[in-house]
Amino acid sequence: MSLGFDLIKTDAGARLGRVTTPHGAFSTPAFMPVGTKGAVKGVTPEELRGLGAEIILSNTYHLYLRPGHELIKSLGGLHRFMNWDGPILTDSGGFQVFSLCKLRKIDESGVQFSSHLDGSRHLLTPEGAIEIQEALGSDIMMTLDECTPHPATREYTENSMNLTHRWAKRCKDARKNDSQALFGIVQGGMYKDLRRVSAASIVDIGFDGYALGGLSVGEEKPLMQEMIAETAPLLPVERPRYLMGVGTPEDLVFGVSQGIDMFDCVMPTRNARNGTLFTRRGKLVIKNAQYERDPAPLDEECACYTCRNFSRAYLRHIYMMGEILSSRLNTVHNLHYYTTLMGEMREAIGSGRFEEWRKSFYAMRALAPA
């Protein structure tokens, strides 16, 4: 078996588990920092480990274009290439084609697209997506899917969903390396009945884990939550459940409450570079003038390196001056916040008090529970 999953405990809909891969295990619910191009921006692999990260995500689309999956394979695979010895999940590139490539054509064979780098033309097929990911050597691969835009008509959404199902079967048939797990992706847009159809179809094909795709693409938050709540219970209890690309702290808490095990998002690292920090009491925008003389840490309850050593005044100063250190310190804090948040949820589930913890999370942020 390429991937093992032990469901340790459930509490108020939330799940505590442990996933085992060829490059080690990670506890769930888990947040995966995003190393889009083979690096989590601003931090070293050793720092990631120190921050509590156990699994990271890298991007098939970007690594295929540069430096190329064959080059990475020749240098020992992605783990050795980026000096990360823990589990790696690679996405299939479908979302990046959807979001970055203005010139693209989707048909039964796959998706033809123009590179956002130089305009060169490429064809990404389901078989090609698996070939690239096998060359990279990731522990968890994703099937190629069409990320349905929002809004979309029912007819478009249903056709897109059915194409995703056919591609999923081709991805499974194309897999040559059984030591790499393969997750199927549920689509169906913002139509609950199509989500149910998609979940049944993807489960019927049979994968090592299951993901919810096509969310956080511009829809209103209540609608996204409705789709998650509708779909998550339809996925096999004995397999990991992954919510793709959804990642505010509130989203993570809601997802965990619905039985989701794995998450990824660029938000903690991207927001760090933009000067937006996550704290127990909500977001803090460090460029705001109110922090110019503030001697307090970002979050007095945070134990990260940034909060232990630097004031809001200093962090504002180096951000306003454009210092590289600003991005690094902000990233360290945001990733620590995210990994700590996941750890707190795991502890709460394990002790049977997740609902109590969830209410306190929203109360601290002066938000009504979702």
Supply the residues annotated as catalytic: 91, 264
* pLDDT digits 0-9 by tens, 159-192: 999 999 999 999 999 999 999 999 999 999 999 9
Residue 112: exposure state from Cβ atoms within 10 A (0-12, 13-18, ≥19): middle
What does the block give as tokens for 181?
A: 């797990």
36 and 142 fall within a common domain: yes
b/e burial code for range 334-349 (CB count within 10 A of at least 16 → b): bbbbbbbbbeebbebb
288 and 211 fall within a common domain: no
The average pLDDT across 316-343 equals: 98
Residue 42 lies in a domain: yes
77 and 126 fall within a common domain: yes
* pLDDT digits 0-9 by tens, 41-57: 999 999 999 999 999 99
Q: How many Å apart are CA 299 and CA 310, to the nearest integer?
A: 11
Tell me, what's the pLDDT at 370? 40
258 and 215 fall within a common domain: yes
**Interacting residues of 272 by C-beta distance below 8 A, sequence separation 6+:** 42, 327, 330, 331, 333, 334, 335
CA 303 to chain centre: 24
Looking at 265, 282, 299, which one is the last position of a domain?
Answer: 265
**Cα torsion 203, 209, 213, 216: sign:** positive
Q: What is the number of domains present in the chain?
A: 2
167 and 80 fall within a common domain: yes
253 and 282 fall within a common domain: no
The DSSP bridge pattern shows strands 88-91 and 56-59 to be parallel
Looking at 239, 265, 291, which one is the last position of a domain?
Answer: 265
The average pLDDT across 321-330 equals: 98
Residue 198 lies in a domain: yes
Query: In which domain, by residue range, is 243 found?
Result: 4-265
Q: Is the pLDDT of residue 368 over 60?
A: no
224 and 319 fall within a common domain: no
Residue 369 lies in a domain: no
* pLDDT digits 0-9 by tens, 184-203: 999 999 999 999 999 999 99
Residue 92 lies in a domain: yes
Tell me, what's the pLDDT at 1? 54
Tell me, what's the pLDDT at 260? 98
Residue 300 lies in a domain: yes
255 and 293 fall within a common domain: no
How many Cα atoms sit within 13 Å of 315 on the Cβ side? 34
7 in Cβ contact with 297 (< 8 Å): no
What does the block give as tokens for 296?
A: 């307090």
Tell me, what's the pLDDT at 129? 97
298 and 340 fall within a common domain: yes
179 and 311 fall within a common domain: no
219 and 278 fall within a common domain: no
Residue 370 lies in a domain: no
CATH code of the domain covering residue 137: 3.20.20.105
Percent of the chain with pLDDT over 90: 92
23 and 89 fall within a common domain: yes
